[in-house]
Amino acid sequence: MVDVYLNGKFVGSTDDAQCFVEKFRSLRRSGKVDATVSISYDEVHDSVFIEADSGRVMRPLIVVKDGKPLLTDEHIKKLEKGEISWDDLIKQGIIEYLDASEEENALVAITPEDLTEKHTHLEIAPFGIFGWAGSLVPDINHSPGARMSVGAKNQKQAVGVYALNYNIRFDMDVHTLHYPQKPIFKTATEDVSGIDYHPVGQNVVVAVGTYLGYNMEDAIVINRGSIDRGFGRSHYYRVESTEELKYPGGLHDTITIPDKDVLGYRSEYDYRYLEEDGIISPEVHVAENDVLVGKVSPPRFLSAGEEYELLSEGDRESSVYLKHGEKGIVDSVIITESSEGNKMVKIKIRDLKIPEIGDKFISRHGQKGVVGLIVDPEDMPFTESGIVPDIIFSHNSLPSRMTFSHMIEMIAGKVGALNGRFVDGTPFESESEFDLRKELQELGFRENGVETMYNPVTGEMYKVTIFIGSMYYLRLKHLVSNKIQARARGPVQILTRQPTEGRSREGGLRLGEMEKDAFVAHGAAMVLKERFSSDNTTIPVCENCGNIAVYDVIKDRAYCPVCGDKSNVVFVQTSYAFKLFLDELKSMQILPRLGLDKKV
Amino acid sequence: MTNAQIFEEYSGKLPENLLEEIKLKVPKRISKDKLKKILDLAVEEYEQSLVEPGEAVGLIAAQSIGEPATQMTLNTKHFSGVAEMNVTLGLPRIIEVVDARKTLSTPSMNIYLKPPYDKASKEEVKNFANRIKETHLNEIATQIDVDLADQKVEITLDMDKIKALELKQTVIKKAIKKQIRGLSEKDIVFEKDKIVLKIPESLSKEQEVDPIFKIKEKIKDVVVGGIHNITQVLPVLENGEYVIKTAGSNLKAVLALDFVDPSRTITNNIFEIYDVLGIEAARQAIFNEIYSLIEQQGLNVDGRHIQLISDAMCVSGKISGITRYGIIKSKSSALSRAAFETPIRHLTEAALSGEVDEFKSVNDRVMVNGILPVGTGLVEISMDLTKLNQGGDANEE
């Protein structure tokens, strides 16, 4: 007896598992069971699992019977004419969806030629084995699998046009590319997926070589001329929003220009862009600390109002302002209503991002790199025909990663650009490299893509020929301008008096425990003390009893509350964290006493 | 001056073994000048390689082992051990050694044979190995029957196996008597190829459930031969002789066997080495274990770092691991202990006994933002004030 489980729950058992599973599948193929229900026989557990849950990744395959695919030329003709659709094929059980566990029961042929009696399914196209994103990488069957993963993963981070109505959408943290282009060397997935309608990259001329060492360790050198002509230019959009919240007791926030007596009033300068309604207007250039929406909130604790009348008499300032390091132009402003019916303001800020040193770029083959240098066009090497590369890519990125598809694309792109046509790079089915080379030769170039180039400074011919071609480059959304961080002085945390953490809070970079160890290992005791002095304080200590004393600023007098007049208070230099630690000890009923040495 | 005299001259400046090495490597007919030059260079090199005062050797040792250890977790290549024997290796094993765990995940021994047995054939070694392996009664029994009427348990024995293992009746008898409570010698009777156990009435009265079934189950696990705790044996040919690798360890009992070479036989259980051979041997064993583990991963760590760790684990005369119950407990500073693990427990305990912290350790100084007592922070300037006065007053001039 074999147990049968439905969505992980035991529902019954069967004598002949194989027969049961096959019958179930034929029911599904005839449309009596939903196409997304999977059934599989697990040999290890000797049980049958039927899965209808959501969240299972499924992929379509052509059903094979007796070594012959059910999908015939007739179907394809009808499909081309539009007489039948994909859904019809599924209803007829010609194509079915398998999930991961049902795949374990299947033997899938990659091409029709591979089919034998044993096979149960056939790939719709051979490149299907790479998956949707993986097959966007052209000729990836020539590169290691790891590179496909990197390439596919990074294409998702590429800057493109994410939605054609981006102009009226209020999405947070999005980028749009200015001049997107279709790739010259493209795969069939490109056409099928519709990514052609909103491409994510641009075709550029790439030379493989060095440029004064500025492209080592995966960096790339970019031509300033290309950037000026629009290569990699993009806009970055972020949304700030606020809402007039309602509080118990009829109190509510007010969107307005705050009065000067409001608690936490910033400065008149910070509110300068606000219009009468307290909201900024579009097309204003804003930078950090500029208020976008002026807002005041009622006091936080109502019951304590009487007690702290002086402090919380008025309203609090709670405006929306640009945080540290942010800048841009107000793109659009909308005033609307939240789901609770409160007045809500959303402000979209756009910022032009021109490629700069530190921005991340990638080819589709997992060859990612960061801009190491931007070179004026006159300082870029040029070919005999006067072509100046847009990007100089380091040859050292090639041997260890073995991305042959990257190099094939350079040749294919060159052929495509010169002949004014797209080149098919669908994995397994692409135009042959041999033919491309031949075509390149017919165009009057060397068949291996190599060209003689000239030194831009001296005008001399380089002694070596340089591999140069056209390929598709993507700008990734990781921009330095959104990540750069540095600090010398700045805000500290209230509790520990140590510097704040994080870019948006103008924070420092922590010198952590292991970094401390490195200093100790070098015996650099004084440097370490200096670096740990960020929260240095002087605390009054009573020599008599060892407790922390009190310093009265008004009377300029230090005294110990325990010893009174007999106290002998000295000032001790230590970290504020230690003082806090002593306080915490006291809170756990442990009294720490400091015994002081005479030596200072 | 002869060359020997020159060497004599440097005897204080260089360690003996270095001098010997130079003596051996230097050509016989070397000029005195050249020899002196060589020796001077050697002295310079030697002095440069000495650890300087104030160097944080412990921390450097920790870093030197810790850094490759991070690579070990990333290197997920699996080394499946020697010939089917499953041995914990890599980082988990290093942690086991350094923490001084008493129960190991895979205890094992390498048993070497004493001459003339080291030339023994594979069959003979297999025989030795089987004698070491712990044998349970059910392994030598073909059948175990219960006779309820007479209150008897009958065990039919496999006589061929008994012969092969060289088990004697008296030994089996003793083992049963020792390991099953309530049976006296006269209750265990040998009949040809059978052992008959008579269950004494005293036993049956004690318990409500018939004890005979309990005994029937228990008897299966009685160890009748071999060495306790050694569950698997595997003779392996290494450098032309057979070594018996075991799963399970019992150093004391194995060393007592007459065919075992006690000078080479080793276990990976440090505590057994400590119990049998003493703390110095344990110290060396810790070193050997960690060193070989790091070497197996193809990493390179200077042995002196590991020596320092094994020394630190053994200074107290007992093995103490680098845990809050071991080395950390012996730290004199309460704050340092609290900084390691379970701070609240350490702080409350320190408060209860009224501990005084001298703020002399590195950890404590970091907490109060003081100058660390390492490297440049170790030295202090001292001045003879009486001599200062002799210089006269600067203002006079």
The confidence score (pLDDT) of residue B84 equals: 57
In this structure, of A287-291, A413-417, A437-441, B142-146, the range with the lowest mean pLDDT score is B142-146
DSSP annotation of A130 reads G
pLDDT interval class at A563 (50, 70, 90): confident
Beta bridge partners of A332: A348
The confidence score (pLDDT) of residue B394 equals: 55
Q: Do A525 and B377 touch (CB under 8 A)?
A: yes
In this structure, of A65-79, A363-377, A491-505, B200-214, the range with the lowest mean pLDDT score is B200-214
Give the pLDDT confidence of A468-488 residue by residue, as tens digits: 999 999 999 999 999 998 998
- Asked if the C-beta of A586 comes within 8 angstroms of chain B's C-beta atoms, the answer is no
Taking the alpha carbons at both ends of chain A, their separation in whole angstroms is 85
Which residues of B are less than 8 Å from A536 in CB distance?
Answer: 369
Q: Do A521 and B60 touch (CB under 8 A)?
A: yes
Tokens of B244: 């018996």
Main-chain phi, psi angles of A524, to 5 degrees: -90, 70
Q: Which residue of A has its CA nearest to B370?
A: A529
3 state SS of B42: helix
Which residues of A are less than 8 Å from B369 in CB distance?
Answer: 529, 532-533, 535-536, 573-575, 578
Which residues of B are less than 8 Å from A520 in CB distance?
Answer: 56, 59, 362, 372, 374-375
State the CATH architecture for B331-377.
Answer: Orthogonal Bundle (1.10)
Taking the C-alpha atoms of residue B248 and residue B232, their distance in angstroms, rounded to an integer, is: 7
Tokens of A390: 């847009």
**How many Cβ atoms are within 10 Å of A14's Cβ, its own excluded?**
16
Alpha carbons within 13 A on the beta-carbon side of A598: 0
Burial class (CB in 10 A: 0-12, 13-18, 19+), B25: exposed
pLDDT interval class at A387 (50, 70, 90): very high
Which residues of B are less than 8 Å from A523 in CB distance?
Answer: 54-56, 374-378
Nearest CA among A234, A211, A182, A180 for reference residue A390: A211
pLDDT above 80: residue B396? no
Long-range pairs for A450-458 at CB < 8 Å and ≥24 separation? Answer: A451/A383, A451/A384, A452/A383, A452/A384, A453/A207, A453/A381, A453/A382, A453/A383, A453/A384, A454/A381, A454/A382, A454/A383, A454/A384, A455/A381, A456/A378, A456/A379, A456/A380, A456/A381, A456/A382, A457/A379
- Asked if the C-beta of A526 comes within 8 angstroms of chain B's C-beta atoms, the answer is yes
Taking the C-alpha atoms of residue A523 and residue A519, their distance in angstroms, rounded to an integer, is: 6
Q: Do A523 and B356 touch (CB under 8 A)?
A: no
Q: Do B377 and A578 touch (CB under 8 A)?
A: no
Identify the residue whose tokens are 């070479």. Answer: B261
Tokens of A519: 């200093």
Q: Which of B167-171, B236-240, B253-257 has the highest mean pLDDT?
A: B253-257
Compare CB distances from A524 to B356, B362, B376 and report the shortest one's residue: B376
Q: How far is CA B236 from CA B114, B239, B243, in A?
A: 15, 10, 5
Strand A391-393 and strand A201-208: the pairing is: parallel
Would you state the torsion angle of the CA atoms of residues B34, B37, B39, B41, taken in this order, to the nearest 10 degrees?
-140
Taking the C-alpha atoms of residue A190 and residue A318, their distance in angstroms, rounded to an integer, is: 48
Chains A and B: how many Cβ contacts under 8 Å? Answer: 71
pLDDT interval class at A313 (50, 70, 90): low
Taking the C-alpha atoms of residue B66 and residue B60, their distance in angstroms, rounded to an integer, is: 9
Query: Span B211-218, mean pLDDT?
Result: 75
Taking the C-alpha atoms of residue B94 and residue B72, their distance in angstroms, rounded to an integer, is: 10
Catalytic residue numbers of A? 218
Tokens of A338: 């939240």
Instruction: Kindly list the residues of chain B whose beta carbon comes within 8 Å of any beta carbon in chain A.
Output: 54-56, 59-60, 62-63, 344, 347-348, 351, 356, 362, 366-378
pLDDT above 50: residue B102? yes
Burial class (CB in 10 A: 0-12, 13-18, 19+), B34: exposed
pLDDT interval class at A598 (50, 70, 90): low
Q: Do B362 and A520 touch (CB under 8 A)?
A: yes
Domains defined for chain A, CATH in brackets: 2-124 (3.90.1070.20), 149-163+177-232+359-475 (2.40.270.10), 235-353 (2.40.50.150), 503-587 (3.90.1800.10)
Identify the residue whose tokens are 């029911």. Answer: A27
Compare CB distances from B376 to A525, A532, A575 and report the shortest one's residue: A525
Taking the C-alpha atoms of residue A70 and residue A120, their distance in angstroms, rounded to an integer, is: 11
Identify the residue whose tokens are 């209750």. Answer: B187
- Contact yes or no for A207/A389 (Cβ under 8 A): yes
The answer, as to whether pTM is greater than 0.80, is no
Give the pLDDT confidence of B306-315 residue by residue, as tens digits: 999 999 999 9
Taking the C-alpha atoms of residue A161 and residue A474, their distance in angstroms, rounded to an integer, is: 12
Q: How far is B76 from chain A (nearest CA, A)?
A: 17
Sheet bearing A47-51, strands edge to edge: A9-14, A2-6, A47-51, A38-42
Q: Do B374 and A520 touch (CB under 8 A)?
A: yes
Q: Which residue of B has its CA nearest to A517?
A: B59
Q: Do A575 and B369 touch (CB under 8 A)?
A: yes
Main-chain phi, psi angles of A488, to 5 degrees: -110, -55
The confidence score (pLDDT) of residue B397 equals: 44
Q: How far is CA A535 from CA A303, A475, A570, A585, B338, in A?
A: 36, 41, 20, 19, 21
Q: How far is A510 from chain B (nearest CA, A)?
A: 15
Taking the C-alpha atoms of residue A480 and residue A353, their distance in angstroms, rounded to an integer, is: 10
Give the pLDDT confidence of B65-75 residue by residue, as tens digits: 988 888 876 55
Alpha helices in chain B (DSSP H): 3-9, 16-25, 32-49, 57-74, 90-98, 122-132, 137-140, 159-165, 169-179, 201-206, 211-220, 251-255, 270-277, 279-296, 303-314, 334-340, 343-352, 362-367, 385-390
Cα B157 to the center of its chain, rounded Å = 39
Q: Is the bond preceding residue A298 a cis peptide, omega within 30 degrees? A: no
Taking the C-alpha atoms of residue A184 and residue B209, their distance in angstroms, rounded to an integer, is: 86
What stretch of H or E contains A404? Answer: helix A404-419
- Contact yes or no for A509/A537 (Cβ under 8 A): no
Compare CB distances from A524 to B351, B370, B375 and report the shortest one's residue: B375
Higher pLDDT, B240 or A409: A409
Which residues of B are less than 8 Å from A573 in CB distance?
Answer: 369
Compare CB distances from A520 to B351, B370, B372 and report the shortest one's residue: B372
Q: How far is CA A31 from CA A34, A39, A56, A85, in A?
A: 6, 15, 20, 15
Query: Span B320-334, mean pLDDT?
Result: 86
Beta bridge partners of A296: A254, A317
Cα torsion angle, A567, A573, A574, A576, sign = positive
Tokens of B225: 């031969």
DSSP annotation of B52 reads P
The confidence score (pLDDT) of residue B306 equals: 95
Taking the alpha carbons at both ends of chain B, their separation in whole angstroms is 56
Q: Do B369 and A521 touch (CB under 8 A)?
A: no
Q: Do A520 and B347 touch (CB under 8 A)?
A: no
Would you state the torsion angle of the CA atoms of residues B389, B395, B396, B397, taken in this order, to the nearest 10 degrees?
120
Q: Do B54 and A533 touch (CB under 8 A)?
A: no
B188: left (phi over 0), alpha (psi -120 to 50) or beta: beta
Compare CB distances from B368 to A517, A521, A575 and report the shortest one's residue: A575
Taking the C-alpha atoms of residue A165 and residue A237, their distance in angstroms, rounded to an integer, is: 13
Strand A368-375 and strand A219-223: the pairing is: parallel
Compare CB distances from B347 to A516, A528, A590 and report the shortest one's residue: A590
- Asked if the C-beta of A528 comes within 8 angstroms of chain B's C-beta atoms, the answer is yes
Query: Span A93-119, mean pLDDT?
Result: 92
Tokens of A306: 């009487």
Query: Span A440-444, mean pLDDT?
Result: 94
ipTM: 0.76
The confidence score (pLDDT) of residue A304 equals: 47
Q: Do B59 and A516 touch (CB under 8 A)?
A: no
Q: How far is B356 from chain A (nearest CA, A)?
A: 9
Q: How far is B348 from chain A (nearest CA, A)?
A: 7
Q: Do B374 and A523 touch (CB under 8 A)?
A: yes
Q: Do B367 and A578 touch (CB under 8 A)?
A: yes
Taking the C-alpha atoms of residue A232 and residue A353, their distance in angstroms, rounded to an integer, is: 9
Query: Span A48-74, mean pLDDT?
Result: 91
Write down the mean pLDDT value for chain B: 84
The confidence score (pLDDT) of residue B281 equals: 95
Q: How far is B294 from chain A (nearest CA, A)?
A: 22
- Contact yes or no for B142/B156 (Cβ under 8 A): yes
Angle separating helix axes B90-98 and B279-296, nearest 10 degrees: 160
Beta bridge partners of A383: A453
pLDDT interval class at B82 (50, 70, 90): very low
Would you state the torsion angle of the CA atoms of residues B202, B208, B210, B214, taken in this order, to the nearest 10 degrees?
-90
The confidence score (pLDDT) of residue A176 equals: 95
pLDDT above 70: residue A446? yes
Mutate to test the interface with A, among B358, B368, B382 (most CBs of A within 10 A): B368
pLDDT interval class at B80 (50, 70, 90): very low
- Asked if the C-beta of A534 comes within 8 angstroms of chain B's C-beta atoms, the answer is no
Q: Which residue of A has its CA nearest to B66?
A: A514
The confidence score (pLDDT) of residue B116 equals: 84
Tokens of A545: 């009893």
Q: How far is A533 from chain B (nearest CA, A)?
A: 7
Query: Span B113-134, mean pLDDT?
Result: 85
Q: How far is CA A348 from CA A340, A420, B214, in A?
A: 22, 40, 80
Which residues of B are less than 8 Å from A516 in CB distance?
Answer: 366
Q: Where are the domains of chain B?
A: 3-49, 57-107+268-330, 135-225, 331-377
Q: Do A532 and B369 touch (CB under 8 A)?
A: yes
Mutate to test the interface with A, among B372, B379, B380 (most CBs of A within 10 A): B372
pLDDT above 60: residue A99? yes
Q: Do A529 and B370 touch (CB under 8 A)?
A: yes
- Contact yes or no for B327/B312 (Cβ under 8 A): yes
Q: Identify the CATH number of the domain defined by range B57-107+268-330.
A: 1.10.1790
Class (C level, CATH) for B135-225: alpha beta
Tokens of A102: 């049902």
Q: How far is A584 from chain B (nearest CA, A)?
A: 11
Long-range pairs for A488-492 at CB < 8 Å and ≥24 separation? Answer: A492/A534, A492/A535
Which residues of B are less than 8 Å from A593 in CB distance?
Answer: none
The confidence score (pLDDT) of residue B89 equals: 79
Compare CB distances from B55 to A523, A529, A581 and report the shortest one's residue: A523
The confidence score (pLDDT) of residue B205 equals: 60
Give the pLDDT confidence of A501-532 residue by residue, as tens digits: 988 888 899 999 999 999 999 999 999 999 99
Main-chain phi, psi angles of A201, to 5 degrees: -150, -170
Strand B266-267 and strand A316-317: the pairing is: unpaired
Taking the C-alpha atoms of residue A305 and residue B229, their distance in angstroms, rounded to an integer, is: 75
Q: How far is B374 from chain A (nearest CA, A)?
A: 5
Write down the mean pLDDT value for chain A: 91
Q: Which residue of A has its CA nearest to B58?
A: A521
